[in-house]
């Protein structure tokens, strides 16, 4: 490409095929539509919007609502076009050429993508053979390579493995690197284990200084189409992100709908509970078939499947995520509605019984 930077010449654009028919279990989206109350509220808000004007560049109303939800100050919050856009901003603001970004493997692929875009070098600490975190190994690697940024996905995508809060605190105490704690799937875990609790406690000032927690509306709140996420951090780290963030970052309609979602978040608790119950039921059923599936605290399961099962799923228009790790094929399956999960189970169990 004639004008593309030399450093980017071997890169390819991110692409995800738009699927509109069949059972879509490949993107960790919620199977549930937005509640009617929120949609009705949104329609009323649109009637009053001046869409000929730019959105509030500071997302003031949503930021204030997030601050109220987590008992923080508005100066501790920043919003973005999905939480991954905020990761992009952080990498842009922090990384110098050759700086190291430490994360685990396997994990969300965009961490390495963003790090490399801004001249960083990715260093991956492999998860254990059961895909659990090994905090001792992470701390040892931090001391060995002295990263500028540490990125930890909790629960981890694509494995569903988790860090306890005490483990997060251990890592923070052992490094001065900026620690990004990506909690995109945290609603499916336990809120008491969230890194946000550290930001709420002034006694953890030495940890708050180098901690950024990321959240999203895309998963538990079923608003993936709106592309809205947020971060929680010290005032200084929020200002750092705002320096490199584009103006009018999030559109007015998305800001309004996200605010309404947060004000009525109790409407989502039943859906979140159902997804967790469906996840555990599917996990046990897959285990009963001797399928190699791993425990998860997210809205998906990570597993190995035979090729005949994959072929049958494709024939039945059931779409799951295929991934490679250490030259082996793995599959990540999002938890769908009860009906979708039943159809998934019917295909998988039929294939196993035939063999």
Note the pLDDT tens digit of each residue in 122-148.
Answer: 999 999 999 999 999 999 999 999 999
- 213 touches 195 (CB < 8 A): yes
Domain of 194, CATH number, reads: 3.40.640.10
Residue identified by tokens 């009637």 is 47
- What total number of domains does the chain contain? 2
* Statement to judge: residues 202 and 75 lie in one domain: yes
Domain region containing 326: 268-354
- 210 touches 50 (CB < 8 A): no
156-212 residue pLDDT tens:
999 999 999 999 999 999 999 999 999 999 999 977 899 999 999 988 888 999 999
**Which pLDDT value is given to residue 120?**
97
CA atoms within 13 A on the CB side of 319: 13
**CA distances in angstroms from 159 to 60, 67, 293, listed in the order given:** 35, 30, 10
205-242 residue pLDDT tens:
889 999 999 999 999 999 999 999 999 999 999 999 99
* Statement to judge: residues 179 and 305 lie in one domain: no
- 221: in domain: yes
| pLDDT band per the 50, 70, 90 thresholds, residue 94 | very high
* Statement to judge: residues 224 and 350 lie in one domain: no
Cα separation, 45 vs 41, whole angstroms: 6
- The structure's pTM equals 0.96
* Statement to judge: residues 241 and 303 lie in one domain: no
């Amino acid at each position: 490409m004639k004008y593309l930077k030399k450093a980017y010449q071997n890169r390819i654009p991110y692409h995800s095929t738009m699927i509109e028919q069949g059972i879509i279990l490949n993107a960790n989206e919620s199977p549930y539509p937005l509640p009617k109350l929120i949609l009705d509220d949104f329609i009323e808000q649109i009637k009053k919007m001046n869409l000929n004007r730019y959105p509030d560049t500071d997302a003031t109303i949503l930021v204030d609502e997030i601050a109220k939800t987590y008992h923080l100050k508005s100066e501790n919050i920043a919003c973005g076009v999905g939480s991954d856009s905020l990761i992009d901003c952080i990498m842009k603001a922090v990384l110098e050429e050759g700086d190291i970004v430490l994360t685990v493997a396997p994990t969300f692929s965009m961490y390495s993508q963003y790090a490399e875009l801004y001249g960083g070098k990715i260093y991956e600490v492999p998860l254990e053979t059961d895909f659990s975190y090994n905090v001792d190994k992470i701390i040892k690697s931090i001391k060995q390579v002295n990263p500028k940024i540490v990125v930890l996905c909790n629960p981890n995508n694509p494995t569903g493995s988790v860090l306890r809060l005490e483990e997060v605190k251990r890592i923070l105490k052992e490094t001065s690197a900026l620690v990004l704690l990506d909690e995109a799937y945290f609603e499916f875990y336990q809120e008491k284990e969230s890194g946000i609790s550290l930001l709420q406690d002034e006694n953890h000032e030495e940890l708050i200084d180098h901690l950024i927690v990321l959240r999203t509306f895309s998963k538990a709140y079923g608003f993936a189409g709106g592309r809205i996420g947020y971060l929680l951090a010290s005032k200084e780290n929020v200002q750092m992100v705002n320096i490199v963030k584009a103006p009018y970052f999030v559109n007015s309609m998305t800001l309004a709908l996200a605010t309404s979602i947060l004000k009525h978040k109790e409407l989502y608790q039943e859906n979140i509970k159902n997804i967790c119950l469906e996840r555990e039921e599917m996990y046990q059923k897959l285990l009963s078939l001797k399928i190699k599936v791993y425990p998860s605290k997210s809205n998906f399961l990570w597993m190995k499947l035979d090729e005949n099962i994959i072929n049958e799923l494709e024939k039945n228009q059931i779409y799951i995520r295929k991934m490679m790790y250490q030259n082996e094929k793995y599959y990540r399956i999002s938890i769908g509605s009860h009906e979708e999960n039943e159809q998934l189970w019917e295909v998988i169990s039929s294939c196993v019984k035939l063999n």
